[in-house]
Amino acid sequence: MSKLEASRYIEHLGGIDPVRVNGKVTQVIGLTIESEGPDASIGDVCQIYPGKGAPPLLAEVVGFRDNRLVLMPLGELNAIGPGCDVVGTGKPLTVQVGSELLGKVLDGLGRPLDGSFIPSRMVRYPTTAPPSNPLFRPRVKEPLGIGIRAIDGLLTVGQGQRVGIFAGSGVGKSTLLGMIARNTAADVNVIALIGERGREVLEFIEKDLGPEGLARSVVIVATSDQPALIRIKGAVIATTIAEYFRDRGLNVMLMMDSVTRYAMAQREVGLAIGEPPATRGYTPSVFAGLPKLLERAGTGPSGSITAFYTVLVDGDDMNEPVADAVRGILDGHIVLSRDLAHKGHFPAIDVLSSVSRVMNEIVVERHKQAATALKRMLAVYRDSEDLIHIGAYQSGSNADIDEAVAQMDFIQSFTRQRTDEKDDFDETVRQLTDHFTRS
């Protein structure tokens, strides 16, 4: 036996507790399980043994009530009843991480969905890591090519930036994420599908992501039928895997669809353990938990996590509570417009309603001036669009409007892009700056 193998066995033996203290299930109410014992802390994982030879159910300690543990199951509650043994592991949930995960599709607990094997030699990371010390987080200085002209040219994203994609249902969020995953210049993609319909998972992987995108991606799936805690853990595990690759010096693209459904799962847990609802039914812990998750992405000493979080806005209301909270945490937002989608304009990015908070710090002056010129022309045209369409505007009445009308063909072609079309970042910048230099 090699020294490495021996050290692994010794490490494993060191983690074994020879004395097992059991607790007992006392009652199950809604989504929660109450038990008397064992000794455990908030966040610890326990094993509940249903009996009859069934495998143990994992559950997490989420609170205490009358000197009893309140647990949330990481699975279905089938066969759980009063008197079932509850055994504490004494540690929070961990996940196996390593380069072997590339090309894998995992469930909300980090296990392969296709039943394939993950080597046991991989490193285990705790899922409860705190955000980086802000003084040790380098500034965002370098642009990252996304491969989408409207973003690279007008809403440039930097390595380590965190951006929200805000849209109602059916406006093209998943399609946009698939384009980013295929086209980005990042080294690794980590994609979390949280609370998605089961039908859409394979569709996203085969159609939107494609073989080339999957080959350098890790996909974590926690569908809407999964227990709330698994949906929460899916988001947390995806962030943990992204942190692993960042710590290895890689530039990681983390995409989460959607952070709204993560917040909804947090609300379910909060209400189940007795938290009072605050804003539109969301509990205070939701708004406390969002920054703890989102702040874990960003730059690091040797790598970066550039993150895109989709935000599902109810009724296209950009000021609903979760959207408003997320917008205040992130470093920029991209708004998808239903009106543009109805006109067949894809990706349906509303450039004037979107912003990258680091763009001015990471692009050259010529690029900045060209992007500003395009946005100004688009704003002028949009203000006068109704007059132009009904024929009430007479050419020559306003020089700015005349110029905006003349520029619209270029603006439309620049901001439209086929899903299978990939543009190089430098070529996008050259196309934009050359056009406005000539004009």
Q: pLDDT-based confidence at 7, cuts 50/70/90?
A: low
At 180, list the tokens: 């980013």
Strands (E), 238-280: 251-257
Which DSSP string corresponds to 173-197? HHHHHHHHHHH---SEEEEEEES--
- Least confident range from 30-39, 147-156, 281-290: namely 30-39
With 90 as the cut, is the pLDDT of residue 263 above it?
yes
With 70 as the cut, is the pLDDT of residue 33 above it?
yes
With 70 as the cut, is the pLDDT of residue 14 above it?
no
- What is the rounded distance in angstroms from the CA atom of residue 402 to the CA atom of residue 47? 70
Cβ 308 vs Cβ 251: under 8 Å: no
What is the pLDDT at residue 417?
95
Strand 45-49 and strand 57-65: the pairing is: antiparallel
At 215, list the tokens: 């080959």
Question: Please, what sign has the CA dihedral across residues 159, 164, 167, 168?
Answer: positive
CATH no. for 366-437: 1.20.1270.330
pLDDT digits (tens, 9 = 90+) for 236-262: 999 999 999 999 999 999 999 989 999
CATH no. for 95-359: 3.40.50.12240
* Domain 14-92 = CATH 2.60.40.2550: no
pLDDT digits (tens, 9 = 90+) for 96-118: 999 999 999 999 999 998 878 77
What is the pLDDT at residue 273?
86
Domain range list for the chain: 14-92, 95-359, 366-437
With 90 as the cut, is the pLDDT of residue 385 above it?
no
With 90 as the cut, is the pLDDT of residue 265 above it?
yes
With 60 as the cut, is the pLDDT of residue 15 above it?
no
pLDDT digits (tens, 9 = 90+) for 394-410: 888 889 999 999 999 99
pLDDT digits (tens, 9 = 90+) for 172-222: 888 899 899 889 989 999 999 999 888 888 888 888 888 888 888 999 999
